[in-house]
Structure 1
């Protein structure tokens, strides 16, 4: 693998930054630790809305992720347009957040992708928001990640 082609920083973005994107961050951090090139990777997450700034991840997601060996340590923060310049890759968890990210700039950023771009065709286009559902929704999101 060509180390120079790897992103140096990845940010996952969902709506409130308490369910999907912090879980994706935790999964990616764990994967990065296992790869020599990945140890140089900076991973974080943000939300397009500022509903939960400063809060820990949703306890239901923390519990579901914990059962799989992931620790969600991040605190919710809101996506800022400057992240488009400071992150090598920004990964939106669904189409609505993808559009919100693009609305923050007049440019055509090439570093913004959908999470589903990295999944097989058997998965849905959007990572569903489990916030208003039951435990199975959190488990399904983790299955996708």
Structure 2
């Protein structure tokens, strides 16, 4: 069975995208579906390469039982846009930068479109306080649950397993 590969992308890969990666991995593991996915995160900028996620992302993840301290920021590579099945950008500015890198890529989409089906941007909480991180955690949680349900169920039905994700 082919694993679904998903890359979460934000600007610096220290706030939104590492939190999305951690939340998704946690949900997939808790659902018994972790082996059906390959996930990662990256940023359109390289300012924080090699660094841990922002301390506030780490704190909000930890408050919800998720450990993202092992992640390290990295910049999106052109190969990522070719290799991942789905590249989920947190906002429209990220979409524009990704499409400038790979104009013909059909796998680049807005997290708010694909996961939330609202078309909303996931706002960058970097310059705000803890409440912004709680807000994005809630939106990412909602979207990641939907993604695991959708792609986990799709993969299960392809393999003949019709059991529920939850």
Q: TM-score with structure 1 length normalisation? A: 0.88
Residue 30 (structure 1) aligns with: 26
Question: Residue 94 of structure 2 aligns to a residue in which SS?
Answer: helix
Residue 84 (structure 1) aligns with: 81
Find the aligned partners of 2:103 and 2:95 in 1 and give their Cα distance.
Answer: 14
1:61 Cα shift? 1.0
Find the aligned partners of 1:35 and 1:9 in 2 and give their Cα distance.
Answer: 17
1:120 Cα shift? 4.6
Question: Residue 78 of structure 2 aligns to a residue in which SS?
Answer: coil
Q: TM-score with structure 2 length normalisation? A: 0.78
User: Residue 142 in 1 paired to residue 137 in 2?
Assistant: yes
What is the RMSD of the two structures over their aligned residues, measured on CA atoms? 1.6
1:112 Cα shift? 1.1
Question: Residue 39 of structure 1 aligns to a residue in which SS?
Answer: helix
Which residue of the other structure, out of 47, 57, 68, is the alignment partner of 1:61? 57
Pick closer, same or farther for the CA change 1:28–1:98 going to 2, 3 Å: same
The CA deviation string for residues 79-133 of structure 1, in whole angstroms up to 9 with x for no partner, is: 11111111111100000001100000232x2211111012153xx7110001010
Find the aligned partners of 1:80 and 1:91 in 2 and give their Cα distance.
Answer: 14
Find the aligned partners of 2:97 and 2:15 in 1 and give their Cα distance.
Answer: 18
Find the aligned partners of 1:37 and 1:110 in 2 and give their Cα distance.
Answer: 25
Residue 106 (structure 2) aligns with: 110
Find the aligned partners of 1:89 and 1:105 in 2 and give their Cα distance.
Answer: 13
* Unpaired runs of at least 5, structure 2: 141-166
Matched pairs, number: 138
Find the aligned partners of 2:86 and 2:59 in 1 and give their Cα distance.
Answer: 28
User: Residue 17 in 1 paired to residue 13 in 2?
Assistant: yes
